[in-house]
Structure 1
Amino acid sequence: MAPVFTCEVTRVHDGDGPLWCQSGERIRIAGVQAPDFTNAPPCRRPAAERRAFRCDNRAATRSRQLVSALVLRQRLRCQPVDTSYNRIVARCTLPDGRSLSCATIAAGAAVRWDRYWREYGMGGCA
């Protein structure tokens, strides 16, 4: 497993990433799925959610705002678990010790992506 690293977040694309680190890394938040910026809705929540998860720009903008409020100018501790589209997929922890994946779900910015949640050994959210 790759070593844990810190990321001071300077920019957020959407609710599941990428997050840009001051050091240059781009992070995809592990185990979650958020609305994408697209002109072709709908996309779908993971099967367990069983409802349409509209991917319109308003939802994507709101998701980005929620995640930005959590992470911008914050120093995250991140454990890489995979790579995707030249991004590091990582389980990250906020400065207060909360899981970033769980925090994005609690904020309503993303939903749990069950397939990857299990694959990356995400554990439970408090």
Structure 2
Amino acid sequence: MAPKRGSEFIMLLILLAAQIIPAGEIFRCTPTRVWDGDGPVWCAEGPRLRIAGIAAREANGTCRSNQPCPSATAEQARDALVAVVGTRRGVAREGHILVNGPTMTCRSDGGARGSRTAAWCTSPRSGDVSCAMVQSRTVLVWQRYWRDHRC
């Protein structure tokens, strides 16, 4: 593999570090980047998270036909997730929102599309992340995945 430079190299390292945590496993995630209202959230420890049990608009503002479609904009949901997991510290060249946040404790719900781990996380900042996002009114419960989760 040819050496990469700058942001391409950083993204390659992030992708290589991404790992899917087996369902039921407890792990830690210190958030460093957020893409949209339900993830991915990049963890300093390696995994990329899809916040379990919720649906947000895609970053381009659309909704997938097989999921709930909230009325909030993609930017509103993304900014709510940033506030739930940490504080905004800038924007990466690729468009990710860079965040500083406390380490969360997460329980894997298994793999999600795109080398992500679906996870139920608790943040010292906001408590149950999925519940905090639903309370923000920028995402909807995705009953198929929410199942019997309680806030």
Give the TM-score range, shorter chain: 0.7 to 0.9
Identity of aligned residues (%): 35
Question: TM-score if structure 1 supplies the norm length?
Answer: 0.78
Q: CA deviation at 1:62?
A: 1.1
| Corresponding residue for residue 15 of structure 2 | none
CA distance in 2, matches of 1:25, 1:42: 24
| Corresponding residue for residue 63 of structure 1 | 77
Q: CA deviation at 1:74?
A: 2.1
Q: Which of these two proteins has the greater Rg computed from alpha carbons?
A: 2
Question: TM-score if structure 2 supplies the norm length?
Answer: 0.66
Q: CA deviation at 1:98?
A: 2.1
- 1:112 has 2:141 as partner: yes
Q: CA deviation at 1:110?
A: 1.1
- 1:102 has 2:131 as partner: yes
Q: CA deviation at 1:35?
A: 1.1
Contact 1:4 1:80 in 2 (8 A): yes
DSSP 3-state at the match of 2:81 = helix
Q: Tell me the matched-pair count.
A: 113
Any gaps of 5 or more consecutive residues in structure 1? 47-51
Alignment root-mean-square deviation, CA: 2.2
Question: 79, 85, 108: which one pairs with 2:107?
Answer: 79
Instruction: Give the 4+ runs in structure 1 shifted more than 2 A.
Output: 41-46, 52-55
C-alpha distance 34-42 of structure 1, shift in aligned 2 (>3 A) = closer
Cα deviations by residue, 1:27-48 (Å, 9 ceiling, x for unpaired): 0000000111226x465663xx
Any gaps of 5 or more consecutive residues in structure 2? 1-22, 87-100
